[in-house]
Structures are given as structure tokens and as C-alpha cells.
Structure 1
Amino acid sequence: MTIQPCINPFTQETNELKITFKKFIEECQYLKRLSPQTIKGYTEVFNTFCKYMPEVATLEDLSAQNVVQFFTRVSQRQRMVGSVMKIGIKPSTLDTYYRKLMVFFNWLEKNKFIENRSISSVVPKPRAPEYRDLKSLTQDEISKIIAAITMKNSKDTWQKIRDLTILNLLIFTGIRRGELLGLKVQDIDLEQNSIFINKETSKSKYSRYIPINFKLRQTLEGYLNIRSKQEIYHPSLIVSCKRGTAFTQHGLKHWVSKYEKLSGVSFHLHRFRHTFSCNMAKAGADPTTIMKLLGHTSLRMTERYLRSIQTRDALKYINLL
């Protein structure tokens, strides 16, 4: 008699919940055409749910009680960070888990995969996280990054101008990483002073135009001029200095790491997006205008980017009363 190995039914690829989630992802990819980054976010959160809730394998198993249990378990988890034992997760991470899971659960309800179980209306939303960190970069921090780029490439004009162009695009447009890498030379209209953001590279899937300010225009003119002298004709706007091919995510990651170390400023690409939105607000731009420039679909998202605005920033407006 042959003894069959014991198979955990919750880890099989025939897991009904995982199969249904795959259908959800396919719809997100091919019908809604969401960005790979958004798809990755949904997938990572769902995998975390499966990890902590192995007993939920079928759609019948899924309930509001089980979802609450998931949040309880991740809030109590223990993990080593270096030599320190950490318990639970950050409020912002909990908020992210909730928002991304509810998109999937609402899809299940809408498509009648689960009926008479309105999970999103039963499971309480986690308390909104209080952000005490300053996400936007200060002028001093930006100056340090500029100095690092200038000093590092003092003998390499081509790389210096390319890297300053990347920096100024981030500071003066607030574009996302994918939008920056997706820019084409033809998207830059110096006659109309505008940059075209193609919906194919935008997270919101809407095309938009961003005006070019005077300083960014000077940088772009210098960059396009030296590109021509280098005989680089690749359609992508930002290119590798060595190969003349399209700049990659890996190259951009290396760019951040290099100038973090050289400048002594801790930053990531999204901090420039926060910086742009806050600087626009301080300059008097209304939230709707900022929302359109950032490519957001709701003011609620834009408001999260403006959390770096301090009470003292209102002084000049109060003095006008």
C-alpha cells in the first residue's frame, strides 16, 4: 500500500480564493489597465492576507469576522528588525492593507462571488494614521542634492546636466517614477512651455499637461542641446549616459542611492512629489489645481500630499488680513 503525502489544502494552487483573486488581477490588468505598480500592491497585500489567514481558502470561508481576525493578527505580529524586536505594524501600513483589500472584496460583492456579505460595511476602517514626519524636502536639503550632483560630475558635463535634469523634473513637475521614465523627447513642447504625460505611463490612466517653469525650461534646453552633441537619438527623454538607451528603474534606484550617500540627505523619489505639491500650495495654488497637476482623481489623495504644510506657513496670508 502506497502512502500518499499529506497536502495542505490551503497551499494548493487550486485554492478557490487565490483563483478568484487571479481573475480580479486579470481584470485590473487587461480591462482597467492599471499600472504594474498598482497590481503589485494589490498582490502583495493579498499574499499577506493568505499568509496570516491560511484557514480562508474558499469564498465561503471569507467573512467579515475573518477579515477582522486578519487585522488583529498582523497588529500583533512579532519580527526582528536588526537586533530589535518589533511588534505590530505602522498605522499607515494597516491603512494600506485595508484600502487594498477592500478593493478586492468590493469587486467580489459587485460580481456576485459573495452575496449577502458586505464586508466593507461591516469591517471597521482603521483609524487614519497621524503623519508627524515631514515628507517634503526643505530648500536646504534640495541645495545639498544639487551640490552633490555638481561636485560629483565636475569633470563630466554630460552626466551633470542629465542628473540635474532628472532632479529639476522631479522638483518642478511632481511626476511619478513611471511617468519620468516614460517621458519621450516629443512630450517636451518648449514652444508651448508644457510637458505631456501620457496616460499609458500614468497611474491614474489619464493624460495631462504640466506647464514648464522658467528654471526647468533652461535645464531642458541645455539637456536637449548636449544630447544632440552626444549624438543620442533615442526617443526616451532620460537616457543612460554610457549607452544612450532608455533610463531604467534600476538606473533610477542607483541614482537615488548615489546622491543620498553623497548629499547626506535621506530621500526617495516620492518625496519630490510631496515637495512639489507643498510648494504649489505655499505659492497659493488651490487644491483642485494641484490635484490636476499631480494626476490625482480625488482631492482626498491630494490632501495626503499636503500634510507637510505647517501652521507657520500661513503667516504671510494672516499678515495680509
Structure 2
Amino acid sequence: MRGTVKKSGSSWYVQFDLGKDPQTGKRKQKKKRGFKTQKEAQKYLNEQLNAIHKGTFFEPKDITFSEYVDYWFENYAVSNTSQKTMEVYSYIIKQHLKPSLGHFKISKLLPSHLQEYYSKKLKDGKIEGGGLSAQSVKHHHRLISKVLKDAVKWEFLTRNVAESVEPPKTKKTEMHTWDSYEVKTFLYSSRTSTYYWVYLTAIYTGMRRGEILGLRWQDVDFENHIIYVRQTMQPIINQGLTFKEPKSGKGRSITITPFLTKELKKLYKKQLENKLSFGSSYQDQGLVFSQVNGNPLQPSEVSKKFLKAIEAANLHRIRFHDLRHTHATLMLQQGVHPKVVSERLGHSTISITLDIYSHVLPNMQKEAANQFDQLLDSL
């Protein structure tokens, strides 16, 4: 299949061959105008020719939601999302969206169809029986909205019907953290565990589990007491463990305490001993936290061991991710500026930090008022 990009006045247009009409035998062509630049027109043409080659090209008036969502997945999700996100999208599309909404012509899809879909999923959306959570259905809504938003952009539709639908409201998840006494109790109890350094790093830095397990020795600056977060570990179905950029899309640096630096040096020495012990069979990947033979730690195993360590310490149960919340909460309670905490956590904006940890701020306000009162007490 061939196509051309041409200029007409101040804008550009594309024209490409759709093959022969099976009824008339004549060649069919499609033309699209209104591109501001040649580059924009060429990109559109390449996308359409690629879709024709793959057999996923459809005329907007004839396409079903099932056909379109396959087209969207091939032409957007595959090249614009991470492997993990793509897997999640693929599962939702195959298990939920296509069976329930796939038969509708995309041009005939109504807000009421989506509203009925959400209600049904809340009642009996699980494959094994029972309803999906409001949070899960909200994820479905976000995906549908994105899919239809692109349909408007690509001129399959004139409006996004998902914008007229109210997704289910979700309750804010209650945050569970430890205070300083509980942190000390836990670290003392788990001091002989092979995962001790993992727990210690999580508490002292607020790093995510994947960031901790993806940390390499080359990312640790012992001299200046800095950890550089440059990659994160992510388990991928059928691919095992992979490493990619951090969640924010860019790395960050975290200043660490002399105590954590000293403890990581101990771990480094222990790893050198393991290398000598295993010899050529040691799987050196440069990771700070690894199995005794050098292989990466399994994220799920780290979380399981963490829960067992909590039981052994006789503390109230929290998730591994809550160590990140614990780090942030303790820092804020000590009067550390929210901007600094935000940078340590890798939040894209300080507003995210303030929103998540708003429960800590009222106490900080009270303490600040008391300190100011003491400052001017002599007046």
C-alpha cells in the first residue's frame, strides 16, 4: 500500500490507497486534510499504512468498539506505555471491555452503556464471582476514557461519551504507619534477618520497593552519603524481573545518614565474602540487595518476609509500602520542610506530598504555634 503527503495552501494533506473495493473492483483511496506541518501529516500516514499492513485499519462508520480497541492497543499502547501498564490494559480489554462492550458500533456507544457497564462490574465483575471494587471499576473508566479520547483525536468519533459518565466514587485508603518507637522495635527484632538492610533502607530513605531492589552499588556514593535512584525493578509476566526508569521518569538523589552508610558498607563487605565463597558461580549483577548467590531478590518474597518479621516483632501490621509513608510522616513530624520530603520521595510536585500527608500537617501547625509562642514569651 502506498500513500503521499502533499501541500495545499498553508496546510498539508495525505492520500493513501485502501486496495480494491470487493464489490466494484475499483481502487479505493482515502484523503485527509488539515495538517499544520509535513511532519504531522507524515506521522498520520505512517500510522494508517501500518494499520492497513497489520489488518487493523477500519473506516470509522463501520468499526465496532472491539475492533477499535484492538486498533488503539496496537497503535498507542504498544509504543507509548510500559510493559507492565500494557499487560494491565491487555487484561482489562480482553477480560472485561470486549466481552461487555465489544459488540457496539463505536459511533453508537452511549453514556448509558458505560453507566450500565460500571454498575454491572460493581455487582458481578470478578471472573471467579462477586463484584469488582470501586477502585478497579474506576481504572476501567480511566482506560475507556483514554481509548475514546484518542478516538476523537483520530477522528473516529466527534465526542468522548465517557466524559458524560460518573465513575464510582472511591474511599480514600487509610494510611498505616509506625511511630519512632515501633520503628526501633522492628529494626532491633529483625537485625539478624537477611532482609534487614532492605527494611533499613526503606525506612531511612522512603524509597519504593522496586527502587530498593533495583539499587546498584554504582548508585551509592559512600563518601558523600548519597543514594542515586536511577532504576526500578519490575516483575513482568512471562519475562521475569526487568529493570526500567523510576516511576517519575527521571532519577533523583537522596542524602542518607552516616548510620545507613555504615550499615551499607557492612552489607558490601558481606557480599564480597559471598563472591569469594561462590566463585565463578556467583551471579554478579551489581545489585545492592541480592540473594547470597548474587541473583535479584523477588519482590513478592520481600513483602512476605516483611509480614513475618512484623509478627516476630509483635507490632501492628502494615504493608511494605507503608515504610515509605512512615519515613515521610516521621520527617514531617520532625519539622522537615514538605518540599524536601517531596524531593526524597520522588513526587513530581509538592502538592502530591501535601495531599497524601495532610493528616500530619495539623499537628505541625500546632507545634509551630507553640514554638512561636515560646520565642516571644519574654515580651
Structure 2 length as normaliser, TM-score?
Answer: 0.64
Q: Conserved in 1, the CA contact under 8 Å of 2:175 and 2:322?
A: no
Is 1:106 the counterpart of 2:146 in the alignment?
A: no
CA distance in 1, matches of 2:323, 2:229: 17
Is 1:149 the counterpart of 2:190 in the alignment?
A: yes
Distance 1:59 1:274, change over 3 A: farther
Distance 1:302 1:94, change over 3 A: farther
Q: Conserved in 1, the CA contact under 8 Å of 2:144 and 2:162?
A: no
Offset from partner CA, 1:152-208 (integer Å, 9 cap, x none): x3xxxxxx3x42210121112222222112111100011222111115331222111
The corresponding residue for 1:27 is: 79
Is 1:178 the counterpart of 2:206 in the alignment?
A: no
The corresponding residue for 2:27 is: none
Structure number with greater Rg is: 2
Q: CA deviation at 1:26?
A: 0.1
Distance 1:94 1:290, change over 3 A: farther
Offset from partner CA, 1:18-71 (integer Å, 9 cap, x none): 413432320234xxxx3x443344444445642772455553354433222222
The corresponding residue for 1:10 is: none
Is 1:270 the counterpart of 2:321 in the alignment?
A: yes
SS in 2 for 1:320: helix
Q: Conserved in 1, the CA contact under 8 Å of 2:137 and 2:167?
A: no
Q: CA deviation at 1:73?
A: 1.8
Q: Conserved in 2, the CA contact under 8 Å of 1:181 and 1:247?
A: yes
The one of 267, 286, 311 equivalent to 1:223 is: 267
Offset from partner CA, 1:193-224 (integer Å, 9 cap, x none): 21111153312221111111233222212211
Q: Conserved in 1, the CA contact under 8 Å of 2:176 and 2:318?
A: no
SS in 1 for 2:261: helix
The corresponding residue for 1:204 is: 248
Is 1:72 the counterpart of 2:114 in the alignment?
A: no
Q: Which runs of 5+ in 2 are unaligned?
A: 1-64, 232-243, 277-283, 373-379
Offset from partner CA, 1:240-295 (integer Å, 9 cap, x none): 03x23222324324433432443344232221222222233323344443333222
Offset from partner CA, 1:105-144 (integer Å, 9 cap, x none): 43343343x421223532235446344x233333344344
Is 1:50 the counterpart of 2:97 in the alignment?
A: yes
Letter in structure 2 aligned against 1:106: K
Q: Share of identical aligned residues, percent?
A: 17
Letter in structure 2 aligned against 1:119: V
Is 1:123 the counterpart of 2:165 in the alignment?
A: yes
Structure 1 length as normaliser, TM-score?
Answer: 0.74
Higher relative contact order (CA 8 A, sep 6+): 1
CA distance in 2, matches of 1:299, 1:26: 31
CA distance in 2, matches of 1:237, 1:251: 17
Q: Conserved in 2, the CA contact under 8 Å of 1:256 and 1:269?
A: yes
Is 1:279 the counterpart of 2:330 in the alignment?
A: yes
CA distance in 2, matches of 1:123, 1:67: 7
Count of aligned pairs between the two proteins: 287
The corresponding residue for 1:191 is: 223
Superposed CA RMSD in Å reads 3.4
Letter in structure 2 aligned against 1:69: E
Q: Which runs of 5+ in 1 are unaligned?
A: 1-13, 154-159
Distance 1:208 1:79, change over 3 A: closer
Letter in structure 2 aligned against 1:181: L
Q: Conserved in 1, the CA contact under 8 Å of 2:109 and 2:161?
A: no
CA distance in 2, matches of 1:56, 1:299: 44
CA distance in 1, matches of 2:94, 2:219: 38
CA distance in 2, matches of 1:248, 1:46: 28
The corresponding residue for 1:139 is: 180
Offset from partner CA, 1:63-120 (integer Å, 9 cap, x none): 4332222222223338799xxx97x5544444444444434443343343x4212235
Letter in structure 1 aligned against 2:149: N
Higher mean C-alpha deviation, range 168-177 or range 96-105: 96-105
Letter in structure 1 aligned against 2:85: T
Letter in structure 2 aligned against 1:170: A
Letter in structure 2 aligned against 1:175: M
Offset from partner CA, 1:221-243 (integer Å, 9 cap, x none): 221122223336541111103x2
Distance 1:42 1:263, change over 3 A: farther
Q: Conserved in 2, the CA contact under 8 Å of 1:148 and 1:262?
A: yes
Query: Which structure: greater strand fraction?
Result: 2
Q: Conserved in 1, the CA contact under 8 Å of 2:211 and 2:229?
A: yes
